[in-house]
Amino acid sequence: PTRPYSITMVSITSGAVTVVSAADLSECTELHSLRNLYLKPISRLVIVVTMPTLKIPGVTVSNWEIMERLKAMVAPDQFTHLKVEKSTLDLLTFDAEADSKTTLTKFLIKLDGKVIKLGNFAEPLRVRAARKKIPFPKKNDWNKFFRESNETNENKPGERPDTIYINHLPTKRFVENENDTKPSELVLKDVFSTFGEVRAVDIPSNDIYRDRIQMLEEAKKGNKENSTSVVAPVMPQQPVFKTFSKGSSIYFDCYIQYMDYAGFSKAMRAFKNKKLLYLIEEEKGATAPIEVDFDKTQHLSEKNIKRRDRRRDRLIRSDAEEEEKRKKEHEEQSRKHEIEILEKRRRELLELAEVQDALKLKEQRRLMREEKRKKKREQKRLVIKQKMEREKKIADLTESMKKQQKEEATILVIELLKRIAKRKQEEEIAEARRQAEILLRKQIEEKQRKLDEEKAKEEQLKKKRIHELDDEEEELKKRLKKIIMEKKEREKSKKEVYAKSKHTINSKSASSKFNSNKRR
């Protein structure tokens, strides 16, 4: 079936994305309608530009400028692909591709036999264009291969022309779910069953052991070719580095084996000079150049399948043994690590015990120092307390002495006044007052002298006390005068009794005065 409307295609070549336009889908053949997969013919041409024979010193030709001239010559159409394939002093060869065969014919008419004029050259550049033949195996090629080969058998699958090899298939178009990263053999078998019943398919990239199996095969071939040297097979744990198109998950290669020769032949004819087209929308599509060839390695033959299975089983056992060995080594390392940890812990505990002993000793020394400081503080507080008690006792004694002195002075004055009042009249009382004043002054001076020796501050206090005593003395004098006057009136009648008692009072007063002076 054909689609008569125009579409826009995206060509994926060598990992780069190029947007191109196609006239229609009339040249495409359907591969699988449900998956929007089609086969589109490859329209390639080779363009040869003849350089001028006369070379001007210092003048050069830009390949980019010539490419732009070629693009301008085919406008408004555009090249799907244009690059320099070969460059010499005489010729410049370009590899180009068109959207369709119709566009290719237009390009040949517009380019072949034309000239390009550059400003730096007087002689124009001649352009020749022709269709480019794309190498693809023919029926004679595989018939000759299987006829001349000594290891083939047309009765056994895989050893006859029934298997095709396809490389550079986009992985995204052959997955069951959008989230899958690996192509599905079921999808691949379903797509390629269009040409006939498929016996078996094989996707090497889906087999995690395939790279190592291939390395074993290459090593065995090397041993056969070079019998003098022994090459040991290399079995790396990690996959070897491969090219982007084959080793990456974007593209993959596969082997497809048909039940009969008819399906194989039909598929080879369908893929001749074709590329894969995926119809994204009604007017958008993506193309991928694929490489198709018949299987020359008997990949899906029974003996090769069994050989790969044996080697896979051997690798699986080897991996299991390696895994067991690694597991044991890991357990041994874990055990050694645990022993080291326990030993380290034991050393840490010993070091911790030593540190704890050192800390205990240090704490004991600290407690001893603290005890000494505490005793010193207690002694200091005791000394201060004793000093304060002494000061307090001194203050109390001083105060008691002051009170005692005041009381004694008062009693003495009273006794003197009484004695003067009793013994003499007003003249004698005055004389007694003068004597009392003299005595009091002497006492005050003596007390002031003692207080001055103890403290300078007590002088003012003594002076103040002297003034207070003077005031009290005046008041006492007044009171005494009053009492004397009252007593004179009362004692007139008791003159005889007082006369007898005066002698006793005078003797007692003299003895008390003598004792008081003696105590002072």
Which of 131, 158, 193 delimits the end of a domain? 131
pLDDT at residue 129, rounded to an integer: 93
- With 60 as the cut, is the pLDDT of residue 140 above it? yes
Cα–Cα distance measured from residue 161 to residue 142, given in angstroms and rounded to the nearest whole number = 7
Q: What is the mean pLDDT of residues 167-188?
A: 90
Residues 246-278 as b or e (16 or more Cβ within 10 Å = b): eeeeebbbbbbbbeeeebbbebbeebeebbbbb
Q: 229-267 pLDDT, tens per residue?
A: 444 443 333 333 344 444 457 899 999 999 999 999 999
Q: What is the four-CA torsion angle of 164, 167, 170, 174, rounded to 10 degrees?
A: 30
CB 200 within 8 A of CB 257: yes
Same domain flag for 29 and 58: no
pLDDT at residue 45, rounded to an integer: 93
Domain membership of residue 170 (yes or no) is yes
CB 119 within 8 A of CB 46: no
Cα–Cα distance measured from residue 118 to residue 124, given in angstroms and rounded to the nearest whole number = 7
**CA dist 215 → 219, 227, 235, 321, 439 (Å):** 6, 18, 8, 20, 141
The domain tally of the chain equals 2
Q: What is the mean pLDDT of residues 21-49?
A: 82
pLDDT at residue 497, rounded to an integer: 67
Q: Which helix (H) or strand (E) holds 227?
A: none
Same domain flag for 27 and 93: no
pLDDT at residue 280, rounded to an integer: 81
- Secondary structure of 473-490 in the HEC alphabet? HHHHHHHHHHHHHHHHHH
What global pTM score does this model have?
0.57
Mean pLDDT estimate for the chain: 82
Residue carrying structure tokens 């301008």: 72
Q: How confident is the model at residue 118 (pLDDT cuts 50, 70, 90)?
A: confident
Range of lowest pLDDT (246-250, 294-298, 436-440): 246-250
Q: How confident is the model at residue 178 (pLDDT cuts 50, 70, 90)?
A: confident
Amino acid at residue number 389 = E
Q: What is the mean pLDDT of residues 207-235?
A: 67
pLDDT at residue 109, rounded to an integer: 92
Q: 356-365 pLDDT, tens per residue?
A: 899 999 999 9
What CATH number does residue 169 fall under? 3.30.70.330
Which residues have C-beta within 8 Å of that of residue 463, sequence separation ≥ 6?
A: 448
Same domain flag for 88 and 149: no
Which residues have C-beta within 8 Å of that of residue 410, sequence separation ≥ 6?
A: 472
Same domain flag for 190 and 256: yes
pLDDT at residue 239, rounded to an integer: 37
Which of 96, 115, 131 delimits the end of a domain? 131
pLDDT at residue 56, rounded to an integer: 66
pLDDT at residue 248, rounded to an integer: 56
Same domain flag for 210 and 72: no
Q: How confident is the model at residue 415 (pLDDT cuts 50, 70, 90)?
A: confident
Structural tokens at position 390: 């002494």
Domain membership of residue 463 (yes or no) is no
Same domain flag for 33 and 47: no
DSSP 116-182: E--TT-SSPEEEEEEEPPPP---HHHHHHHHHH-SS--TTSTTSSS-EEEEEEEEGGGG-SSTT--S
Domain region containing 205:
17-42+135-216+246-300
Q: What is the mean pLDDT of residues 405-418?
A: 87
pLDDT at residue 499, rounded to an integer: 67
Same domain flag for 201 and 84: no
pLDDT at residue 272, rounded to an integer: 92
Q: What is the mean pLDDT of residues 70-74?
A: 92
